[in-house]
Structure 1
Amino acid sequence: MDNEEDSRATRYTTLAAGPDHRHELEIRRSRFITVLRRSPDEETARSLVTDLRREFHDARHHCSAFVIGPDRMIQRSSDDGEPSGTAGIPMLEALIKRETAATVTDLSDISVVVVRYFGGILLGAGGLVRAYSESVSTALDLAPLVQRRRLRLCAINSPHADAGRLENDLRSAGYVMAETGYEPRHTILRVALPDDDAAISEAHARLASLTSGNLELRLQGTEWVDVPC
């Protein structure tokens, strides 16, 4: 694994797959309807704005923010007619500063739109900042979140007679087993490991211990998978 790959994120938190998550607050007679969508790309994120403009066509504001990518490199926000800096940026900060576990701020692949129906009472700049930030934070409090992990798939060619025992030993050691394959001369056991040098080195050592050094771990591709938080 080269240095560039080592520097990439191997995990982050996102919205669980499924329908958009919604929550509504009323603040001084204004309605703030917050909608969260899992968004792996900008097109999906921007489609949320389009969809909600159509659904809530009579609302005054459809403010938005999104964060995309394991390294959270894509970050955008829009005030959509609210005074500059009072809606989009507070919403974006509510996403990027969200602590998902033990001071970890890793929320990504998520877009949010807050639809506002003006209630006739001006909130002022400070009031708007608090309202939009609170709307997103409250929605996130109630939203189903998952951890997204980049795993390295590895293969082990095992004699058929030993494959069942070896698989049980690996599972007992806490390894995540992927799909098993069968060929005429051996069984292919597949293990999904955290995509980092330390985890892979440990797995090599564990396999050598379990098989007296007779079998080897072959590195294959990587894939992102959802893991419950």
Structure 2
Amino acid sequence: MRKAYKILYKEGTGEIIEKKSRFIASFRPVKTEEEAQAFIEEIRKKYWDASHNCYAWILGENGEGKRCSDDGEPSQTAGKPMLDVLEGEEIVNLCVVVTRYFGGTLLGTGGLVRAYSGAVKEGLKSCTVLNLVPAKKLIIDTDYNGVGKIQYLLGQSDITTLNSEYTDRVMLTVLVPDEEVLKLQADITEATGGKANLETGDSVFFGIHEKEVLLFPEGS
């Protein structure tokens, strides 16, 4: 059974200061290890004079691909705390690099953990995260007598209409969350006395950003 998951849709950055050390978190949506590595190298070149460029990434709908690096900081004080924040937020398909400019004062292991995780949390505030919901396209073919009843049902369930075609009949393509497909089909069949033809189309995921419905093909 498919389930909803969260992705990084738009990148962002954030910065905190701890005892004069700067911690700059840079985020990028990625889908492969190659994209993540390319982003890390890009940040290393941008902040070539920094003390450290630590990173963490999570890939795959189920977060099966994970990696992190302390980049010279004491073990478990940078990459792992960064990864922990991402896992806690349950976001996938993203990479974050936290760049540190040393300020002259040692932070200790606890201070480093708080600084690196804090930088990630700060950076996430400027990012756009989408909750992707599994859905199916449902194609509804009906005569004009059934249109009003069907549109009422769609409105009651807050179902998005992707396309409408009006000829001698009406064809609607709507986006239905997986868990609502069977009920909606049954409701439409009952409301129209079985006169509406229903066809299940592509399986997709969708997210809503600034009131716009965004479609993502399965496995994208």
Settle same-fold status: TM greater than 0.5.
yes
- Whether the aligned pair in 1 keeps the contact of 2:13 and 2:126 (CA below 8 Å) is no
Report the 3-state secondary structure (helix = DSSP H, G, I; strand = E; otherwise coil) of the residue aligned with 1:15: strand
Match status 1:223 vs 2:214: no
1:133 alignment partner in structure 2: 117
* Aligned partner letter, 1:125: T
Deviations 1:2-57 (A, max 9, x none): xxxx1x32x1222333xx30111111111100011222333332222121111111
- Whether the aligned pair in 2 keeps the contact of 1:167 and 1:189 (CA below 8 Å) is no
- Whether the aligned pair in 1 keeps the contact of 2:8 and 2:129 (CA below 8 Å) is yes
- Whether the aligned pair in 2 keeps the contact of 1:63 and 1:87 (CA below 8 Å) is yes
Q: What's the CA shift for 1:214?
A: 1.6
1:101 alignment partner in structure 2: none
1:113 alignment partner in structure 2: 97
1:191 alignment partner in structure 2: 174
State how far apart, in whole Å, the 2-side matches of 1:43 and 1:186 are.
Answer: 49
State how far apart, in whole Å, the 2-side matches of 1:137 and 1:227 are.
Answer: 22
- Whether the aligned pair in 1 keeps the contact of 2:13 and 2:124 (CA below 8 Å) is no
- Identity among equivalent positions (%) equals 32
Instruction: Find the partner of 2:67 among 52, 60, 76.
Output: 76
Unaligned ranges ≥5, structure 1? 1-5, 99-105
- Whether the aligned pair in 2 keeps the contact of 1:150 and 1:194 (CA below 8 Å) is yes
- Whether the aligned pair in 1 keeps the contact of 2:142 and 2:195 (CA below 8 Å) is no
- Whether the aligned pair in 2 keeps the contact of 1:163 and 1:189 (CA below 8 Å) is no
Distance 1:84 1:192, change over 3 A: same
Structure in which a larger fraction of residues adopt strand: 2
State how far apart, in whole Å, the 2-side matches of 1:164 and 1:205 are.
Answer: 16
Q: What's the CA shift for 1:193?
A: 1.2
Aligned residues: 209
Instruction: Find the partner of 1:29 among 20, 43, 51.
Output: 20
State how far apart, in whole Å, the 2-side matches of 1:94 and 1:86 are.
Answer: 13
Q: What's the CA shift for 1:80?
A: 1.3
2:218 alignment partner in structure 1: none
* Aligned partner letter, 1:137: K
TM score, norm. by length of structure 1 = 0.82
Report the 3-state secondary structure (helix = DSSP H, G, I; strand = E; otherwise coil) of the residue aligned with 2:35: helix
* Aligned partner letter, 2:204: E
Distance 1:162 1:74, change over 3 A: farther
Q: What's the CA shift for 1:164?
A: 4.8
- Whether the aligned pair in 2 keeps the contact of 1:175 and 1:193 (CA below 8 Å) is yes
Unaligned ranges ≥5, structure 2? 211-220
Deviations 1:172-222 (A, max 9, x none): 22211122346x6643211211124xx111111221132122224211111
Give 1:173-212 correspondences, 5 Å limit.
Answer: 173=156, 174-181=158-165, 186-196=169-179, 199-212=180-193
- Whether the aligned pair in 1 keeps the contact of 2:150 and 2:188 (CA below 8 Å) is no
Report the 3-state secondary structure (helix = DSSP H, G, I; strand = E; otherwise coil) of the residue aligned with 2:163: coil
Q: What's the CA shift for 1:73?
A: 1.3
Moved more, 150-159 or 36-45: 36-45
State how far apart, in whole Å, the 2-side matches of 1:78 and 1:188 are.
Answer: 53
State how far apart, in whole Å, the 2-side matches of 1:30 and 1:73 are.
Answer: 33
CA RMSD, Structure 1 to Structure 2 (Å): 2.1
Deviations 1:159-182 (A, max 9, x none): 3x3475355324322211122346
